[in-house]
Amino acid sequence: MSRARAVFISFGLAHLYLSTLFCTATRPIRSQVTKFSHHLLSLSNQPYSPLLINTYQRVFFCSKPYSVVELILGHDWCTELENELENSNREWTYGTVIYILRSLDKDPQKASDFFFWVCERTGFRPNFLVYKLILRILAHKESMKRFWIVLMKMKIGGIYIDKETYFEILLQLKRKNLVSDVAALTQVYNSMIQENITDGVVKKVVNVILGSKWGSGVERQLEELKVVFSDCIVTMVLREITKYPSKAARFFHWVNQRPGYKHNSVTYNAFAWTLCGLDENKGFWRVIEEMKGTGHEMDINTYRKISRQLQKHKMMEDAVKLYEYAMDGPYKPSVQDCCCLLRSISVSYNPDLNLVFRVFSKVECTGYTIPKTVYDWIHRSLTSAGRFDKAEKIVNIMRNAGYEPDNITYSQVVFGLCKARRLEEASKMLVKMEESGCSPDVKTWTVLIRGYCVAGEIDEALDFLLKMMEKNLNVDADLLNVLINGFLGQRKIEAAYNFLIEMINKLGLRPLQETYRKLTEKLLEVRKLEEALDLLQLMMKQEYQPWPDPFSHYISKFGTVEDATEFLKALTLKEYPSPSAYAHVFRSFLREGRHSEANDLLNKCPHHIRQDYEICRLFSSKHKNAASF
Q: Residue 42 — very low, low, confident or very high, per pLDDT cuts 50/70/90?
A: very low
Query: Lowest mean pLDDT: which of 53-67, 453-467, 562-576?
Result: 53-67
Whether residue 21 is predicted with pLDDT greater than 80 in this model: the reply is no
Q: Give 265's contacts (C-beta < 8 A, 6+ positions apart).
A: 93, 94, 95, 296, 297, 299
Band of residue 279 on the pLDDT scale cut at 50, 70, 90 = low
pLDDT of 330 over the 80 cut: yes
d(CA 30, CA 82): 19
What is d(CA 474, CA 493) in angstroms, rounded to the nearest whole number? 24
Quick one: pLDDT band at residue 64, thresholds 50, 70, 90? very low
Average pLDDT, the chain: 83
Q: What is the pLDDT of residue 277?
A: 62
List phi, psi (to 5°) of 556: -65, -30
Question: Mean pLDDT across the stretch 97-108?
Answer: 91
User: Taking 80 as the threshold, does the pLDDT of residue 25 lie above it?
Assistant: no
Does the pLDDT of residue 628 top 50, yes or no? no
**Residue 558 and residue 429: Cα distance in Å, rounded?**
50
Query: Poorest-confidence range of 36-50, 439-453, 461-475?
Result: 36-50
How much is the pLDDT for 535?
93
DSSP E strand boundaries for 169-278: none
For residue 550, pLDDT over 80 is answered with yes
| 271-275, 368-372, 478-482 — most confident range | 478-482
pLDDT 10s digits, 447-457: 999 999 999 99
Residue 585 pLDDT: 85
Quick check: 497 pLDDT over 60? yes
In the chain, what are the domain boundaries?
A: 65-177
CB 302 within 8 A of CB 273: yes
User: Is residue 629 over pLDDT 70?
Assistant: no
Find out whether 262 and 228 touch, Cβ atoms under 8 Å: no
pTM over 0.75: no
Q: How would you label 597-626 residue by residue, b for 16+ Cβ within 10 Å and e otherwise? A: bbebbbeebeeebeebeebeebeeeeeeee
Tell me whether residue 36 is exposed, middle or buried, using C-beta atoms within 10 angstroms of its C-beta: 0 to 12, 13 to 18, 19 or more: buried
Position with higher pLDDT, 570 vs 228:
228
